[in-house]
Amino acid sequence: MNPGPREEEGLKTNQRITITEVALRDGSHAINHQYTADQVISIAKALDEANVPYIEISHGDGLAGSSLQYGLSRTNEMELIEAAVSVCTASKIGVLLLPGIGTIRHLNEAAKLGIGMARIATHVTEADISAQHIARSKELGLHTVGFLMMSHMAPPRLLAEQAKLMESYGADTVYVVDSAGALLPHQVTERIRALTQSLSVPVGFHGHNNLSLAMGNTLAAIEAGATWIDGSVRCLGAGAGNTQTEVLVAVLDRLGIETGIDVYKIMDLAEEIVAPILLKPQEITRGSLILGYAGVYSSFLLHAERAAEKFGLDARDILLEIGRHKAVGGQEDMIMSVAAELAKGKREAPV
């Protein structure tokens, strides 16, 4: 750890935060799922040397996500997982699994490769479908996380009820997941507090930066009691990306909040290894901004842009209509049908 200037008062001095790095999973969306084994090895090795506790690796939509619907991976995710495990000594490798996309078989296969964590992700009101996957993850001896996606779509009370279900199935940690980057800081505070007051297990937060609030929301989550936090080096993730890991580590160090991550090494990794592989800078464009504004799943952006080009539409109109339909993760196929309907209506509109 490189000691830097500290603020006199932090959120909670001597507080310990566990960071999970998601660039090799959520960041897969940003590069069209084109990671190579060599890229994963170089990034995972540098993360391990920086002492990042957990590194999540899989297709952007979780285990078995590689498909025409979600996007085809360049390299089989099991090869990427195996490659990362082979170069990590301090960091543990984790995976994301969405029941209905990934199966128990995929979880078993990843476990044989040496992963240490499984995050079982469901829509915020569908925690009940996670029971068998959480149970199997526990049987495999993995740190097991309940991951409640699109958390802006449920009020705090309902969110807490769903989190309690995941806890009852055996989850070691439960996350509030702002998949759309739509939450405002006070809404994050309300949701994290609802969970910390209802659960006996730790609470986590996963943010997206579509409204430029990922860092602010993350600090609000920590202040409200979250002790597990996701970050992505160079902000590499779906939409406008996630809470930027190297910035987060520096900010928490200033606040006197311990992460165990080397500030200089995580900065160097972001600048020298991750930045060169970006297809374009992770920034808040009109497309990613509309995701947060409309409350739409962040990975829908590239799909909407392709549909807009095909049908001669504005991607923003497609995403706003998707938001009105209250589409959730896993419904990417709806984007083309919505675009087709909008194009039909445009053609039939009186001139």
Binding-site sequence positions: 25-26, 179, 206, 208, 297
Closest CA to 156 of 187, 181, 128: 187
Maximum C-alpha span of the chain? 66
Measured over the CA atoms of residue 252, residue 254, residue 256 and residue 261, the dihedral's sign is: positive
Closest CA to 315 of 345, 344, 284, 336: 336
Q: How far apart are CA 36 and CA 133, in angstroms?
A: 28
Note if 133 is an active site residue.
no
Q: 197 — phi, psi (to 5°)? A: -80, -15
Q: How far apart are CA 100 and CA 77, in angstroms?
A: 17
Residue-wise over 226-243: b if at least 16 C-beta within 10 A, else e? Answer: bbbbbbbbbbbbbbbbbb
Residue numbering of the annotated binding site for substrate: 25-26, 179, 206, 297
Closest CA to 172 of 132, 145, 139: 145
Q: What does the DSSP assignment read for 298-346?
A: TTHHHHHHHHHHHHT--HHHHHHHHHHTT--TT-THHHHHHHHHHHHHH
Catalytic pick among 29, 33, 123, 152:
29
Other CB atoms within a 10 A radius of the CB of residue 182 amount to 24
Q: How far apart are CA 88 and CA 109, in angstroms?
A: 19
Tokens of 69: 């619907």
Q: How far apart are CA 135 and CA 139, in angstroms?
A: 6
Distant-in-sequence, close-in-space partners of 327: CB < 8 Å, separation ≥ 6: 296, 297, 300, 334, 335
Residue matched to tokens 């504005």 = 314
Catalytic residues: 29
